[in-house]
Structure 1
Amino acid sequence: MVIWLDRGDLRLGLVPELGGRLLSVRHRGVELLWRNENLLGDDLRGEYAPNSGRMGDWVNYGGDKTWPAPQGWSGPDEWAGPPDPVLDSGPYAAVVDGHTVTMTSAPDPRTGLRFTRAITILDDGYELRLRAENTSGRRIRWALWNVTQLPGGRSVTAGLRRPGVVALVAGTGTPEYIVDGERLVVPAQDVVGKLGVPGTAGWVSYGALTLSFAVDPAGEYPDQGSPLEIWLEHPLPEPLAELGNLDPPARIVELEVLGPLTTLEPGEGTELSIRAEVREDDVCPSPSEA
C-alpha cells in the first residue's frame, strides 16, 4: 500500500509496508529525497520484503526511516543493523487522519522496541513525530535515530551552538568539512564516511530542505554525544569489507537526527520531533533567519 499526502505545492509518498518509510517528498513535482530507482518506480511500488543479514545484504530503498541507536555488533545493547527485518524493513500498520499518517511497527524482540512514526504534511514542509516504546518485560536503553537520504552532489550546512565536530566512520576516509563561525559546511565529495556534530544548534540544511530539532543540553547522546550526524557515500569498485561488505548504490547524503539515550522500563517510551521545511532556494538559511 502506498499513501499519498497532498497540500499546496507538496506531495508526500509513504509506504507503511516498507519499514514505515517516507519515500517521496516532491515540491512542485521535483523530488527531494533519494530513492533507489532500481527497486521502486515513481509510483513507489516494488517488491517489499523484510530483509536481514550483514550490512552488505541490506536492501537500501532510500527515503526517510527511523532506527534505534547506538549501532553496533558487539552485544545486545547495540543495534546490529541495517538490515533489520522488523524496524527497518518490516510492515507497519497505518492510520490516515486528515493530513497525518501514523505508522506503527510490530514489537521487535531483539531491541524490545515498537516504533511509531507520525508524519503530518504542512503548507511549507512536514513534521515527524517519532516514538519508541518498550514492549519487552526488561529494562532497555536506546535512542531514536532518524535517517533522511538525499541525492549527493551538494554541500550540507548545519548550525553550531558551540564548537564540536567528530569523525565517526572512515570507510574510505573522513569527510572534509569547514567551520565558518556558527556554521558547519560539509562540501560535496566522493568519500564513504560519517561526521558527528555534538555542537549542533538543532538545524541542518541540504538543497531545499531544512530539518530542525530540539537538543537536550543535559541529555546523553550516542556516538560521542552527537544529536546530528552526516553520512556521505558513493559507488565503489568493490564492497567495503571493513563495513560488513557495504556496497553503496549511488552518491547519497544522509542527514541523521538522534534523540538522547533513554532508559525505558516496560511500557515506557521516548519521543523525538523533527520539523522539515521546504524552500524555493537551494541555499537554506537557518530557521532564525527565515
Structure 2
Amino acid sequence: MVTWLERGDLRLGLVPELGGRLLSVRYRGTELLWRNAELLDDDLRGEYAPNSGRMGDWVNYGGDKTWPAPQGWDGPDQWPGPPDPVLDSGPYTADVDGDTVTMTSAPDPRTGLRFTRAITILDDGYELRLQAMNVSPRPVRWALWNVTQLPGGGLVTAGLRRPDVVALVAGTGTPEYTVDGDRLVVPAQDVVGKLGVPGTAGWVTYGPLTLSFDVDPAGEYPDGGSPLEIWLEHPLPEPLASLGDLDPPARIVELEVLGPLTSLEPGATTNLTIRATLPRARS
C-alpha cells in the first residue's frame, strides 16, 4: 500500500511494504528520485517481495532507504547486503500522524536491529528521522546508512570542512572529482565507483535537492571516517564479477549519509536526522 504526503508543490510517495522506502519525491511536477520503471509504475504499484542472495541478485527498486553499516562479507560485524530480506526489502509497519509517516521494520536476526524511519513533509522539503534499536540480547555495533538514489547525468556538489576525500570502491574506476575551495564537485561520468568524504561540512546538493546532516567531530565513521559517500553507476555490457555480479540497471547517483558507529547494548538506540530542502514550494 502506498502512502502519499502532499504540501504545496511537493508530493512524497512512501511504500512501507518495500523496506520502508521513500520511492517518490515529486517537486513542481518533476520526479527527483530514481526508481526502476521496470518494477514500479508512476503510482508506485508493483510486486513487493523480500529479496536475498548475492549483490547481483539484488532487486533495485530505487528511492530512499536505510541500511546498516559497515558493509562487508568478512564476518558478523559487517552487513552483507544488499540484498537483505528484512531491513532492505522486508515489510515495515506504518503509522500516519498528520504530516509524518513513521515506518518500522521487523527485528533483523542477523544485525540485531530494528529500524524506524519517520518522514515529515515540510514547506521547503522533508525531514528523515532515522533510528536503529538493538532488539537482540547481545551487544552490537553499527552505524545508520541512508541511501538516496537519483537519476544520473547531473553534478554533485558537497560542502567541505577540509579537503579530505577518499576512494572507496572502484568497480570500473574511481569517480573523478575536483575540490574548489570549500566545495567538492563530482561531474557526471560513466563509472561504477564510490567516493568517501571524511571532510564533509554536512551538506550535499544534486539538482534542486540539498541534504543536510550533523557530523559528530568525535564520532568514528565507517569507510575511512566518511559521514558522506557518493556512488555513481551506469549500465554495463555484463555484470561486475568483482562486486558480486552487480548489474547496474541505469545511470544512477547515490547520496549516502552515515551516522557514527555506535556500540549498542540491548534496548539502546542510535539516531540520524537528515533534512532535505528544495526551493520553497508554493502553497
| TM-score (norm. length: structure 2) | 0.99
Task: Tell me which amino acid in the other structure corresponds to 1:19.
Answer: G
User: Partner residue of 1:135?
Assistant: 135
CA distance in 1, matches of 2:142, 2:91: 21
What is the correspondence of 1:1-290 to structure 2 with a 5 Å cutoff?
A: 1-279=1-279
The CA deviation at 1:30 is 0.5
| CA RMSD of superposed structures (Å) | 0.5
Q: Deviations over 1:42-80 (max 9, x none)?
A: 000000000000000000000000000000000000000
Q: Distance in 2 between matches of 1:25 and 1:57?
A: 26
Q: Distance in 2 between matches of 1:52 and 1:206?
A: 30
Q: Offset at 1:147?
A: 0.1
Stretches of structure 2 that go unaligned for 5 or more consecutive residues are none
1:279 shift after superposition: 2.4
d(CA) in 1 for partners of 2:238, 2:34? 22
**Once the two structures are superposed, what CA deviation does each residue of 1:209-254 show, in whole Å capped at 9, x if it has no partner?**
0000000000000000000000000000000000000000000000
- 2:74 alignment partner AA: S
Mapped to 2, the partners of 1:66 and 1:166 lie a distance apart of 22
Distance in 1 (alpha carbons) for counterparts of 2:32 and 2:174: 25
- Residue type at the aligned position of 1:128: L
- Determine the C-alpha separation between the residues in 2 that align with 1:133 and 1:274: 18
Which residue in 2 is equivalent to 1:284?
none
- Runs (4+) of structure 1 exceeding 6 A deviation are none
Deviation of the 1:163 alpha carbon: 1.7
Partners of 1:211 and 1:6 lie apart in 2 by: 19
Give the whole-Å Cα distance in 1 for the aligned partners of 2:279 and 2:200.
Answer: 21
Report % sequence identity. 86
Count of residues in Structure 1 that have an aligned counterpart in Structure 2: 280
| TM-score, structure 1 normalization | 0.96
CA shift for structure 1 position 25: 0.2
Q: Which runs of 5+ in 1 are unaligned?
A: 281-290
Amino acid across the alignment from 2:158 = A
